Structure 1
Amino acid sequence: METIFFTIVAAVTVLSGIMVVTCRNPINSALSLILTFFCIATLYVTLDAPFMAAVQVLVYAGAIMVLIVFVIMLLNIRSEVGRRYTHAGIIGTVVGFLMLVLTFNFLNNSSLTGAKGLITTDVINKIGHTELIARSMFTDFLLPFEITSILLLVAIIGAVILSKKKI
């Protein structure tokens, strides 16, 4: 039963990911991305990582997608309905398919190293997902976390400046 559920969720994730790239309307593409984020959160739940699923929904499907939709509407991006296909779409499809084949080849021909990490199932059950993630985020990865927030702020300011007719 779990395998069938995983297969269905994985298929919806892949299809919505393809729709993100192929939709001509930017709002439809953003909605497909939200569906992709929710499917990934569902996969986190099946992996017994409820905190990661909640963060996925709150941060990505919530805050980041609101930001993306806000920027799309602020910049007034219109889809080009009458546009003809170019060779770039065909080249992108071929390159994507080759990357998929290479990834499957790599995964089938590789083996696990057998290396064990410091965080085992016993440590996760004793301390908890949330505390382990928070401890790692706010000690080892504090600088990248802060740089990401600054980059998001710069992106918002850039979108506002680009959308103004006169500054």
Structure 2
Amino acid sequence: MELIILLLCGGLTIIASLLVIFTRNTVHSALWMVTSFFFMAVLYLLLRAEFIAILQIIVYAGAIMMFVIYAIMMLNLRQEEQGPVRKTKVVGVVLLLVLFLELMVVGVGRGLLAIKGPVTDQLMAKFGHVAVLSNFLFSDYILPFELASILLTAGVVGAVVLAKQKSE
């Protein structure tokens, strides 16, 4: 039964994520993103990572999506007319695919190296636990955590500057 739910939620997550990309209406795209986030939360629950599942719903499906929908309404995005496909778009798609494949190779390689020895019940009990997550986040991964906060702050400041320039 758990395998059926896992496959169903995984497939629905992929479908909802593809609809985020290919839906033309930006508000509908944002709603598909919320749907994708909820299916991801179910996947986290199946992995017995309850804390991460709750964070997924509260932070991503709640706060981040409200921010995205607010930004869509404030920027007054309109549908652009479709023109012919330019060479730069083709080159961009090719570079995106190369980057994606590179990240997959690096991610799979690190993931396989990170698991040392058999997965025990004690190890599974600690998976997704708040104490273990915070220990990794604020000890081993403190630099990426701080860099991500700086990057997010710069993104918000840039969005405000761009929105102010358009309105003036």
User: What TM-score do you get using the length of structure 2 for normalisation?
Assistant: 0.72
Given the superposition, is the C-alpha separation of residues 11 and 117 from structure 1 closer, same or farther in structure 2, using an over 3 Å criterion? same
Moved over 6 A (4+): none
Contact 2:49 2:128 survives alignment (8 Å): no
1:27 aligns with 2:27: yes
* 8 A contact 1:74–1:160 mirrored in 2: no
Q: 1:63 to 1:143 in 2, by over 3 A?
A: farther
- Output one character per residue of 1:58-107: Cα deviation in whole Å (capped at 9) or x when no partner: 22222222222222222221123x53573758x959x96xx89xx8xxx9
Aligned residues: 152
Q: For the Cα contact (< 8 Å) 2:51–2:128, is it kept in 1?
A: no
Map of 1:67-82 to 2, 5 A cutoff? 67-80=67-80, 82=81
What's the CA shift for 1:4? 2.0
The separation in 1 between residues aligned to 2:117 and 2:55, in whole angstroms, is: 23
Amino acid at match of 2:31: L
Relative to structure 1, the CA distance from residue 127 to residue 3 in structure 2 (aligned partners, 3 Å threshold; closer, same or farther) is closer
C-alpha RMSD of matched pairs (Å): 3.3
How far apart are the structure 1 equivalents of 2:128 and 2:77?
44
| Matched residue, 2:58 | 58
Query: Whole-Å Cα distance in 2 between the matches of residues 128 and 83 of structure 1?
Result: 45
1:124-159 CA distances to partner (integer Å, 9 max, x unpaired)? 537971100011111121222222222222222221
Ranges in structure 1 where 5+ consecutive residues have no aligned partner = none
Return the alpha-carbon distance in structure 2 between the equivalents of residues 85 and 30 of structure 1: 26
More helix by share: 2
- Relative to structure 1, the CA distance from residue 128 to residue 36 in structure 2 (aligned partners, 3 Å threshold; closer, same or farther) is closer
User: What's 1:154 paired with?
Assistant: 154
Q: Distance in 1 between matches of 2:152 and 2:57?
A: 18
Equivalence for 1:16: 16
Query: Are the structure 2 counterparts of residues 60 and 128 from structure 1 closer, same or farther at C-alpha, using a change threshold of 3 Å?
Result: closer
Of 52-61 and 116-125, deviating more is: 116-125
